[in-house]
Amino acid sequence: MSCLRNLALGLAVLGLSCGSRNELDEPPSTRSLLAESFKSGELQRVSDARLFVGESLYEYINGGAELYHAFNFVEVATADYSLAGSELVADIYLFDNADHAFGLYSQVRPDNPNHLPLGVEGFGSETNLVFVKGRYVLMLTGFEATRETAAALRGTAQEFSAVVPGETKLPAMFSVLPGENAVPFSEKMFAESFLGIGELTEVYSRRYAIGADTLTLFVAPDSGEKLAAWRAQAGADETTTVDLGLSAQAHRAMLAVTNSYYGQIIALNKDGYLAGAVGYTDGCREFAATWLNTVGSAR
């Protein structure tokens, strides 16, 4: 019963400055979510639950912890479980807010995921399953690449999905990006260094299929300092000119650069947002211009 009492804590939500993030005031600890057994009675914990908080994450995933800390990792609890004769490891990660939890998830998700309808979203294979819900990212790992292991992972994920609290929708900032022509499950959130530029933080992106072209649109909260910093470090050999048919004011606020890796990039500061496109081509002109003209209009 103590586990159920812990799950009742922190159900009030609050709106944060970036869109309308809903967060748990006092989320249950990750260790409390690693119950000894679950409702069905089939999933059983077969080890003690271990907890790693803050910098101690390096003791658990030495060599990969930097990515988690970039998204303001709080803690992770881990334990071994058994279901239908298959053994697996369950890791529950907690982040400071739901946007950062989704951000970490989006960075570990493969480009063409085997999508699973869990939490906000999830993906899986025969030996692993990952999903994000609220401030939590759950990672399940099996020991053998068999159908039985894959079935056990899915069953375990369903058990945890029922008890892990939090939102089951994308971060609100993604609503600024268009839904039309979107590539399914291509949303990503970058806490820092988008496009390798240190000043481009808290950036949300989504890929789009425009005819034969693929375009990535991105958006971030920005009062002007992010674009100004980007413009200040863009070399003369990088900057170029792109005519999107925008207003004279918007055109003056736009930065266009050509990058050997990312291709042509356009960005502008508009109504509190840094908005732009990566991999821009003339074939995407109408789509990109239409969106950039509407950014911020609904605020």
> Using CA atoms, how far apart are residues 153 and 81, in angstroms rounded to an integer?
10
Mark whether 204 and 101 lie in a shared domain: no
Compute CA 133 distance to the chain's CA centroid, rounded to the nearest angstrom: 11
User: Into how many domains does the chain fold?
Assistant: 2
Mark whether 124 and 209 lie in a shared domain: no
* Mean pLDDT in residue range 24-41: 87
Mark whether 212 and 104 lie in a shared domain: no
- Dump pLDDT digits (tens) for 211-249: 989 999 999 999 999 999 999 988 877 888 888 888 777
**pLDDT > 70: percent of the chain:** 91
Mark whether 142 and 195 lie in a shared domain: no
Q: What is the pLDDT of residue 41?
A: 82
Contacts of 50 (CB under 8 A, 6+ apart): 60, 77, 78, 79
What is the 3 state secondary structure string of 32-60? HHCCCECCCCCCEECCCCEEEEHHHHHHC
- Res. 110 pLDDT band, cuts 50 70 90: very high
Task: Tell whether pTM > 0.95.
Answer: no
> Using CA atoms, how far apart are residues 151 and 123, in angstroms rounded to an integer?
13
299 assigned to some structural domain: no
What is the rounded average pLDDT for all residues in the chain?
89
Mark whether 61 and 116 lie in a shared domain: yes
The DSSP call for residue 222 is -
Mark whether 149 and 13 lie in a shared domain: yes
Mark whether 196 and 157 lie in a shared domain: no
Mark whether 183 and 154 lie in a shared domain: no
Closest by alpha carbon to 136, among 155, 114, 111, 157? 157
- Dump pLDDT digits (tens) for 118-163: 999 999 998 999 999 999 999 999 999 999 999 999 999 999 999 9
- Is residue 252 classed exposed, middle or buried when 0-12, 13-18 and 19+ CB atoms within 10 A define those classes? exposed
| Domain harbouring 118, CATH code | 3.40.1000
* Mean pLDDT in residue range 241-261: 85
Residue span of the structural domain in which 235 resides: 172-294
Mark whether 189 and 128 lie in a shared domain: no
Question: Does residue 185 surpass a pLDDT of 50?
Answer: yes
| Domain harbouring 223, CATH code | 3.40.1000.20
Q: What is the pLDDT of residue 2?
A: 35
Mark whether 129 and 230 lie in a shared domain: no
